[in-house]
Amino acid sequence: MSHGVWHNPPDRRSSSAVLPLAAGAVSRAAVDAACDVARYFGRPIQLIASRAQVGSFSSRPGYVEGWTVADLSEYLTAAHTRHVVHLCRDHGGPLQHEEDGPATDLPGALERSSAALVADIQAGVEAIHLDLGSWRAAGGDVAKGLQLTLDRCENAAAGRPITYEIGLENQSDAVDRVDHVESLIELVRELRFVTGSVAFVVIQLGTFVRGDVNVGLLECRGRDSEAAVLDAVSPLHGTGLLAKAHNSDYLSPRAFAVLARCGVHCNVAPQYAVLQNRLLWTLLSRCGDSRGASRVADIARDAGGWRKWATEDDPAPRRIVELGAHYAVSNPVVKETIALLDRAMEAVNLRGYEWRSHQYLRQLMLQQTWSLERRAFPCL
């Protein structure tokens, strides 16, 4: 085995380099839009999916289309877009999903999360975000947990190179201190690989989402935050590692430009779901059955995913839908409500919810990618 960290990353704009935007697989429309963006730029895009969104096992599929990683890969293959996507398991690692069991059973959690990652690799995943933040908070040995997980992943890959993204995130609105980044680099330096390598480390760069607003220091402090971001990423220079910022949703073009100047790649996911959810509420209220919006709100409320984002205890039905309808899209009643909406709109020669979702998401992803490419967004 060898230390597989230090390599020369490709030029960010070369045809082989992944785009600096990593898009969340929060819906079929988001997946299709991400593929459109990859084809537009002629470069692959990272499609990131948590286990809640896209499951590892057929017995526990995700809320997005009831998909597993194998299902998502098959969908992309059928659409002739598999080659433009790097499938990435987001938030892999122990205690990142309820199926890992309680934090009181650290060995069991490590075993169950590793088994899920093995299934992901066998289904075709090319990249894995290993998030050991919860493991560390529960008292786990981070270095040991990382290496044991990597050994399982490397054995499952059977010679196929997997790209890793390492994070120990305690999510906050702050920018990481240089000494924290240096310690993370040292941890990565000690990892042993067979064929894989670490491409990204996750750093807190002043991006943090509350509700549907980015309240991190990158937005709140304006230009004063750029020096802090530059300092935080400076230890990566010459290492072959790239910085990844999570929680990059709802950022302004100015904030994206700051991250771009610092060579940072960005994850965006809940913003895409909220855009679709808002569209769904608007169309149901204006074009659909008057009871449809209320039905979706009730089901979304029961699903409970909105609680992760809401800043109030008892949001209005519209707010429940905006923040949490995507957690309930696999519900048969929600599916039928959307199908009825699309048929009603088609009857009066209007494009439906699915088509509009795809178009709006593609436009947003294109704008974000152009900002990260440090270019002005053209009129399309």
Give pLDDT tens digits for 297-313: 999 999 999 999 998 88
Same domain, 89 and 216: yes
Please report whether residue 159 resides in a domain: yes
CA dihedral (70, 325, 127, 8) positive or negative: positive
**288 versus 274: which is more confidently predicted?**
274
Question: Which residues make beta-bridge pairs with 47?
Answer: 23, 87
Confidence of residue 265 (pLDDT cuts 50, 70, 90): very high
What is the three-class DSSP state of 210?
A: strand
Residue holding tokens 């700051």? 258
Q: How many CB atoms lie within 10 A of CB 156?
A: 18
In a 3-state reduction of DSSP, which class is residue 333? helix
Give the three-state DSSP class for 362.
Answer: helix
Residues 336 and 228 in one domain: no
Structural domain including 139 reads 21-268
Which residue among 234, 268, 302 closes a domain? 268
Structure tokens at 92: 């892999």
Q: At what angle do helices 270-287 and 332-347 cross, to 10 degrees?
A: 60
Answer yes or no: do 161 and 256 share one domain: yes
Distance CA 81, CA 101 (A): 35
Task: Let me know if residue 7 belongs to a domain.
Answer: no
| Residue 56 and residue 38 in contact, taking contact as beta carbons nearer than 8 Å | no
Q: Is the domain of 318 the same as that of 218? A: no
Strands 45-49 and 85-92, by their bridges, are parallel
Average pLDDT over residues 50-65: 95
Q: CA 269, CA 263: separation in Å to the nearest integer?
A: 20
Residues 225 and 134 in one domain: yes
What is the mean predicted confidence (pLDDT) over 280-295? Answer: 89
Domain boundary among 202, 237, 268: 268
Q: Say if 217 falls within a structural domain.
A: yes
Match 């270095």 to its residue by tokens.
Answer: 143
Q: Say yes or no: 282 and 259 in one domain.
A: no
Q: Does pLDDT of 379 surpass 70?
A: no
C-beta separation of 84 from 124 below 8 A: no
Instruction: For residues 247 and 337, state if they share a domain.
Output: no
Please check whether residues 342 and 329 belong to one and the same domain.
yes
Q: What is the pLDDT of residue 7?
A: 37
Structure tokens at 378: 């053209």
Residue 10 domain-assigned? no
Query: Quick check: 13 pLDDT over 60?
Result: no
CATH number of 65's domain: 3.20.20.70
Under DSSP, the state recorded for 140 is -
232, 251, 268 — which closes off a domain?
A: 268
Q: What is the mean pLDDT of residues 113-126?
A: 97
pLDDT score at 166: 95
Residues 232 and 308 placed together within one structural domain of the fold: no
Whether 94 is in a domain gets the answer: yes
Residues 213 and 66 in one domain: yes
The owner of tokens 């439906």 is 352
Task: Return d(Cα 244, Cα 37) in angstroms, integer.
Answer: 19
Q: What would the pLDDT profile of 199-237 be if each residue is shown by its tens digit?
A: 999 999 999 999 999 999 999 876 678 899 999 999 999
| Residues 310 and 212 placed together within one structural domain of the fold | no
Q: For residue 10, name the pLDDT band (cuts at 50, 70, 90).
A: very low
Q: Decide if 11 is inside a domain.
A: no
User: How is residue 30 written in tokens?
Assistant: 């988001």
Q: How many domains does the chain have?
A: 2
Cβ atoms within 10 Å of 270's Cβ, excluding its own = 21
Determine, yes or no, domain membership for 315.
Answer: yes
Same domain, 41 and 58: yes
pLDDT at res. 170:
74
Torsion of CA 54, 58, 63, 65, to 10 degrees: 90
Residue 378 lies in a domain: no
CA distances from 61 to 54, 58, 101, 131, 305 (A): 6, 6, 17, 21, 16
In terms of Cβ atoms closer than 10 Å to its own Cβ (0-12, 13-18, 19+), residue 158 is exposed
Question: Burial of 224 by CB count in 10 Å (0-12 exposed, 13-18 middle, 19+ buried)?
Answer: exposed
